[in-house]
Amino acid sequence: MLSLQHISKYYQVGGNKNYVINDISLNVDEGEFVSIMGPSGSGKSTLLNIIGMLDEPTNGYHYFVDQPVHQLKEKQRSALYKQYIGFVFQAYHLIDELTVAENIETPLIYQDVKGSERKAMVADMLDRFQIVGKKDLFPAQLSGGQQQLVGIARALIAKPKLILADEPTGNLNSKQGEEIMELFRKLNKEDGVTIIQVTHSEKNAEYGSRIINLLDGKIESIKNL
């Protein structure tokens, strides 16, 4: 599905190159469930952003469904993105001006899904995450965990082939976290959705088929389960 070859990213700090990602090569096949772990500041989010084409590496090659991402224009990248990827953020990133239902609906709008169909799909999602009662509230009126759920619902609604999740369960209680993980597993097993998640929790990491450990921008170890 995607392939990173000798990817590096550094920030120029003073006269020094401060490497956040240091020469990482990684292949992820369709249908895999990958967990990325590592201490804070080790570059997990940065790596995920690069995979998700939100951030650009300073060096290296990046292929996504056989397309050379490093050569694509913004418009083409955004088209690829729409077609394949659903993103769950560490900091939720909901649109403050939109209600819960509208936030969940937004990706569908950009994929030109018809209005009536959208309504049905949003209703389905609200149901699935048991937040029907919150559908007309604005993000500021929700708790952190509830916002996280909305973020996940929004990432899933367009039925992406690749889900990138940055600590999706960080703000959920363990029961909720487990439910999300179960949902991911089900999507992965039954629908063949590829999932890459960043997590601090060993337990959650083990839902994956492969665990990648990062340290100082390098892959320290890979563990296949």
Residues that bind other proteins (CB under 8 A): 49, 52, 54-55, 74-75, 78-79, 81-82, 87, 89, 91, 93-98, 102, 105-107, 109-111, 154, 158
Radius of gyration of the chain (CA): 18
Q: Looking only at Cα atoms, what is the longest distance across the chain? A: 56
DSSP E strand stretches across the chain: 2-13, 16-28, 33-37, 59-64, 67-68, 85-88, 162-166, 194-198, 210-215, 218-224
User: Can you state the angle between helices 115-128 and 100-110, rounded to 10 degrees?
Assistant: 130
Other CB atoms within a 10 A radius of the CB of residue 101 amount to: 21
Listing DSSP states for 164-211 in one string gives: EEESTTTTS-HHHHHHHHHHHHHHHHHS--EEEEE-S-HHHHTTSSEE
Torsion, Cα 85 178 183 53, to 10 degrees, reads 0
Q: In angstroms, give the least distance from the CB of 168 to Mg ion.
A: 12
Q: How far apart are CA 122 and CA 128, in angstroms?
A: 10
Residue 108 tokens read as 């569908």
Which of 44, 62, 134, 210: binder of ligand ATP (CB under 6 A)? 44
The entry of other proteins, Mg ion, ligand ATP, none that residue 43 binds, CB within 5 to 8 Å by partner kind: ligand ATP
**Does the protein bind ligand ATP through residue 43 (CB under 6 A)?**
yes
x-marked contacts with ligand ATP along 86-115 as a string, rule CB under 6 A: ----x-------------------------
Residue numbers 62-91 binding ligand ATP by CB under 6 A: 90
**Does the protein bind ligand ATP through residue 41 (CB under 6 A)?**
yes
**Does the protein bind Mg ion through residue 45 (CB under 5 A)?**
yes
Q: How far apart are CA 159 and CA 178, in angstroms?
A: 21
Q: For ligand ATP, which is the closer residue by CB, 147 or 213?
A: 213
Task: Number of residues interacting with ligand ATP: please give it, by CB under 6 A.
Answer: 12
Q: In angstroms, give the least distance from the CB of 44 to Mg ion.
A: 5
* Residue facing ligand ATP at closest CB distance: 45
Q: In angstroms, give the least distance from the CB of 79 to other proteins.
A: 8
Q: In angstroms, give the least distance from the CB of 200 to Mg ion.
A: 9
The entry of other proteins, ligand ATP, Mg ion, none that residue 98 binds, CB within 5 to 8 Å by partner kind: other proteins
The residue ranges that bind Mg ion (CB under 5 A) are 45
